[in-house]
């Protein structure tokens, strides 16, 4: 299992500010859709293994 991503990595991946990531961040609808897509792709990848 990889290390927990830092706030800066989350900010880069999800397109939010590093400060928002450190606060726990609130996401816009667009960002939530991107997170949903990311979760779906991850689930598919895990299911293939």
How far apart (Å, rounded) are the C-alpha atoms in residues 29 and 48? 29
Residues 7-35, mean pLDDT to the nearest whole number: 68
Between 44 and 6, name the one with better pLDDT.
Answer: 44
pLDDT in tens, 22-35: 666 666 777 778 88
pLDDT at 5 over 80: no
| pLDDT value at 8 more than 60 | yes
Q: Is pTM beyond 0.85 here?
A: no
In this structure, are residues 21 and 5 in contact, taking their beta carbons and an 8 Å threshold?
A: no
Which pLDDT score is estimated for 24?
Answer: 65
Mean pLDDT of all residues in 7-28: 65
């Amino acid at each position: 299992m990889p290390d927990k991503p830092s706030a800066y990595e989350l900010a880069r991946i999800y397109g939010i500010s590093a400060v928002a990531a450190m606060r726990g961040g609130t996401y816009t609808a667009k960002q939530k859709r991107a997170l949903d897509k990311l979760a779906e792709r991850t689930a598919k990848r895990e299911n293939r293994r």
